[in-house]
Every structure is written in structure tokens, then in C-alpha cells.
Structure 1
Amino acid sequence: MQGSAQQESSTGHYTIAIQPIVNAQLQHVADELLYRGDVTANSAHVFDDVQATARACAVAIYEIGLDKLCGQRQLFINASGDWLLNPDLISLPADQIVIEVLEDTQVNEPLLAALRRLKALGYTLALDDFEPNAANRPLLNIADIIKFDISTGIPIALIKRLDQDGYTLLAERVETYEQFEQCKALGFSLFQGYFYQRPQVQVTTTQRHSTSRANQMQLLAQLYSDKVRLPALSTLIARDPYLLNAVFKRANSAGKAAQRPAYKLLDCIHIIGLKELRTLVSIVMLAGNNPASKVNLINGLTRAFACEALAEQRGLDEEEGFIAGLFSHMPVILGVNLEAMLQELPLSQAVSQALTQRIGALGKLLTDVEACEQGDVNPSVPAGLILQAAADARSLMDVHIS
């Protein structure tokens, strides 16, 4: 993930690449997560290690989803010292994430304490491009996997000693099958490089619109409150379409092992849990997503509030009304195709049918609200519904949009 300190554009076109890691039998057992400033980049241009890791994790976990990206395989992520020392960022799935300590990380007691905590939580730790010296030798007491960049030479004596000590050794930048055989004979059991496959860029369709930092800071404040109020959390999450999408996707991922799909925002929050929700919000904040169009957000929330109010009047589920209204406008807010969005998000059948076919009680409700938005008069819809919903939406958005 390291690269030159080159300032990238702020267009939000960043993505990830993954490179396979194979075992001695050439079985694909893991992947390394690599940050890319845009889909055409062949390498990373990192100007901020923490933001690069945050963006890579956001794409992998909250946009694509680990189950879709790498299935049950482990995923190696590069983590700088600043990332490791921030407890808000470490609530990723410990059974699947391997944390790579970058070679230029300053080793001190706070860092070692942080790594010990990660080990206690069940994370696997790898040392990236390891070259032993007096400063980083304490890392050997914590590490599980040690990576060697064989393009810079193969320290045979060190490798044999570490192999005898029981470390898992990973050879990276393996370019040829002959190098693979050589490393295998030396005791390496994991291999990564062009001999097997080049990094594969992952393209996502999500446009990374997000509300202001002020909204996200309010959300963090609520998450760390002595008395966390779930309705307030739901309101703040609903204000941020990128975050809302991430919460639904993460709660319904295979990794959360939910017995049944979660269709409601409060259910999603319960499934994810406050600890991981703090990580999710922190990662989205650090990823630096661009603020959404205020007009699109207000329009989407206006429809959502109108559908919620009309659902209450008609004896329907109010939150399903809100979700149907907001997600009907989500393709405009996020810049995604409705069908693609529905493939990614397991919305209830009633909401899905309302969105795609405008059928059922929710479909009729959504049709009536959309007609009112165009100025139609409907005796079954309270006068002033849209005006009140618009006022509620503007009130919700009264934090400053950056």
C-alpha cells in the first residue's frame, strides 16, 4: 500500500486491488488488499497512510463486502503505526483479517501494547518486508507471519532460523516458477507475486457521496455517549446515504452470519453492534468521501419522511415506509443503478416490490407520494404532507453541509 507521497485528486474515484496469496500447493488461500487512487493506477500513490487504509477497508468491507471479495479467504491489510494506535479503527472481523505491520513503523512500547491487544482479540499479525534490527526485534515475539521481498535478496540463514522457530514465512514479489520452487525449498509456505497473478483492480459502482463531517462527528458523539440512544443513531445514519448503504450491507454480510436478512435500520445496528459501528463510522470519516448534493439529499429525505407519515396514517410499518421512500431516491443520491443496488441490499419483499413495480400497499403509498411531489391532489393523502416532510428534511439537514 505504500507509494510515493503524491497528492491524488479528490474526485473520489479511488478503489482497491487484491493480489492472491497461495500456499505451497498453489491453492489460493488469501489476498492482500491494495489501495489504488483510481481504477487505471497500477500502483498506490499514498499521501496519507491512514486514509489509504481507511479507503481500502471501506471499499473492501462496506462497498463490495468481504464475502463477495474474498469469500472465506483471509485478507491482509497494511496498517501504519497511526492506524494501529487508534482503537476506534480496530473492530474488523478478526477471524478473517491479517494485519500487516509496515516496515517503516516506529516500534515503541505503545505500539507493542497495541499489537498485544490485537493478538488477544484474535488477529493474525504479519511483518511486512521484514529486516531484523535492534529496534524491530521485539516484533518477533508477537508476529505470526513474516514477509520477505525476495526482489531485494534472500537472506537464507535468517529464513532458515525463522522457519525452525515456527514462523509462517511468506515470499512476495515471486516473479517466476523457479523462484517459487527455490523459496518453497527454503521453508516458505505462502507465496505472492506475478508468477501466479498480478493485482486485480476491483471496480465498484458506488459514488461516494456523504454528508458533512459535522454530521459524522455528531454520530460519533452519539456512539460514545454514556447513554446511547438508538433512535438518534438511526436518524444520523439515515442522513448519510453512503453510511446507510454500508450499514445495511455489512449487517447482511455472510460474515455477520445473521439467521435471517435484516430489513430495518435498527435491526442492522443491533447486528453490527456499537463496537463495529464505531469502526465503520471512523473508517468512512477517514476515507474522506465527498459531500453529497444538498438538493438530492433533501429531496430523498423529503420523500422518506412523507412515506413514513403516510405509512403511519395507513397502518403500515413506518420504518418500511421511510426506507422505501429514501431508497427510491437512492439511485440519484448515490449514482447507482436501482437493480444493482437491490442485488447488493437484501431489502424486504414488500420494499423491493414497491421500488421496482410499485405494487402492494407500500407501492401504492410510494406512487401516491411521488404524485403529490408533482402537485397532484389526492384525497387519501393529507394536505400539506410534502410541505411538512420537506420542513422535516431541512431540519434534519440543518448541520452545515461541507
Structure 2
Amino acid sequence: MSISVTFNSAHRIPLASAFFMARRPVVDRQQNLAAHELLFCNFFATAAPVAAPAEQPASASVLSDVYAHGLTRVIGDLTGILYIDIDALMSDIFQFLPPQNVVLEIATLRNPSPQVIARLTELGAAGFRFALVVNDDDEDVRKLLPMVESVRIDITGRSAADLGRLCAAFKAQQKRLLAERVETIEQFRMCLDLGFDLFQGYYFLNPEILEGRKISPSQQAITELMSLIASDADNADIEHSIKSHVSLGLNLLRLVNTPAISAHRIDSLRQALMVLGRDQLQRWLQVMLYAEPGVHGRSILPLMAQATTRGRLIELLAQKLRPGNRSFADTGFTVGIMSLMDTLFSMPMEEILKQIPVVEEVGEALLQRQGYYGKLLSLAEHTEWKTKNDAQLMQATRELNLSYNDLYMVQLAAFEWSDHVTRCMH
């Protein structure tokens, strides 16, 4: 069963609302993926210069779209944290949402009305869980605390002392703490020491370049095999290379015997090579590079999920923009999944490209974000919303003549594929 998207059929089911969506990773104290936070911004159809699209809580109509197209396609088997507005809170959309799969995130309300309190109580009784976005421990926050499971604190610009004061206050109320916008490993360690339970941010994407860093033996075996494929070596040489690294051969057989690859049992490397073909083998070797155990104390799964999402997203965008050009789409996948290898290897990208040969267009995209592949990679990075305001996202979609509907459908397929692959490789 291959997970894919058909654009013609997708366009027959247009979104009712015009929005962009970001799925931001949330990790636990062991740095394993624990949840996905979903944020939204309005899409402005004007061709004029745009204002930056600030993240906004989801309206009832947006939630309806997310539900209609499959919430599990967005969040997989993890928890989805939905940042919602008051109109959505008071709507009837929650009769369709599974309470066990979502946490409803709400901004602190000034003087919350009896109707809002009653609604929170009603939904809580139905099994829904709430997170409260807080800036301080004030009277309005205290009114809502009894009804929420956790609090979300944006750590931007806050000192350790200030954060420690808030953590102590909310821990005393037995609330789980989610640190928002953790962008460096130093910030993660600080929040870990302060007692935060969950961490949203992209600190794990930032490369820690280590002088003299060497690729591990298993990763070296994979890169050598990738070089053989790139040089158009004989199948016998490729098979011999795999057999000389037992763990690589076993992992490859395990991978090809998943539903995403083959519905029939594959027992030999020769058969696996025939089933996969060289292009697909190259793709799965790229994925397998991210299947190493934790790097420098970090869990690798969040990085793998992000890299495979980028790869699949760019592949599907390439397929959408240049239909029928399989080679173009395959190269797009390579650009996306290789874009985080500097983080994976703790090495400069220039050094990595000396060991893993790529065509000039791929190198330009990875090093300078130049060329058509560079534009696609930049768009994929913008969809991650590392900043609160990202006007570049809308600008990039206009330049590529993509609608918000196009992008959303591609994101759904990329999330679904990445989640499936990450589970298979774990």
C-alpha cells in the first residue's frame, strides 16, 4: 500500500476556509515526539504585498476542514494540540473531534464569562483536555486553571528566574508545563532543569558543528552504497556492498517488508533490489541515514520526522508543478531529506557533499537555497513556521502559483507518509 496523493481528486474537495497550517513538533523530556501543535493563519488572496500572517487560533470552519480531510492524517498516532478561538470553543464542532486524540489550547481570557466557564466544564466532562496559553500568573489565569491540564509558556525574552517563578506557581497547581519556542539546545537544557514537561521548538534542527566529526561506520556504509548507485555500478557490486554490512542488509530487508513497500514477503537482497529499483533504493538509504541511535544525547526521531516530511513535501510539490516528470520529483525528495544532514552528522553541508555526490542543482539548493529546487526547499522550510510571522510563506506560494488548497493537500500526504515511515524505522 503506497501512501500518495492524487491532485485531481483533491481539488474536487476544496477547503471551506482559506488558511495555512503549520504542524509544529512537541517533544517530551526524553526528546521523543510527544505531540503535534497545529497553528493556522489566514490566506489573503490579494496579489499586493502582504503583511506577515500572524499565527491565529483556529476557527470552527478551519476545524471543520481539518476534521473533514482526516485529523489522523495530520497528527498520526500522536496527540494533536489545537490552538482554538472562542467562537470555535462555543461551536458544535467538538461532537466530531475525538477527545482522546486532542488537547484544546486556548488563550487566557480576560474576565471569562459564565458561559465560557460552563462550556469548558461541559467539554471537560466529555473527555476533552485543555491547555492554557499564559503570560503570567494573574487573576484571570487562576479562574481558568482548575479546568485545564497544562499551561503553555512562550519562553522568548524571558529570564531563567522569571520562568522559574512561573514554573513553581503552576507546578504547585499540578499542571503540566509546555515551553514554547525552544530554539537552541541551551534553551532546552534550561527548560529541562526548570521542570518543563513538554517542549515546542526547532532546537533539534540546528546543527552543532563538531571539529573533526566523522560519520559513523554504519552511516559510512550507507553513503558508500549511495555513491555506488550514483556512479551506476553493477547490481552485483551493489548487492556485494550490502552483504558486506550485515546490519545494513537486515535493515533493508526489514524496510522492504513493510506495507509501504511491498504486499509480498521479500526474503533476499537480490529480490529486494529488484522490487525497489535504484531510485527507490537511493531514497530508502537516505531515510536509513536518520535511523541511527541518538546523536549527542538527542533523540533522532524528531529529526527523522522533519527530514522525511520535507522530502515527501518537496517531492509532491514537484509532482504537482511538473506532472509526469518522475526524475524531477525524485530529485526533490533528495533535496528535502538531505537538507538536515548537517544536523544529523554535526558537519558543515559542504563537507557532507564531498562524501555524498549530488548533481549541481541539488548542491545549489542545499548550500544557497538557489535554483528551482532551492525555491521548493525554502517553501518547505517556511511551512514549518519557525517564527511567529512569516510573510515569506505566502510570497513563496504565489511565486510557485500554488493555492492554499494545493499546499494543504500536499502537507496532508507528506505528514501521513512521514509518520508511517518513522514508525517503520523506529
Question: Normalising TM by the smaller chain, what interval?
Answer: 0.3 to 0.5
Q: Which has the larger radius of gyration?
A: 1
- What TM-score, normalized by structure 2, do the two folds share? 0.40
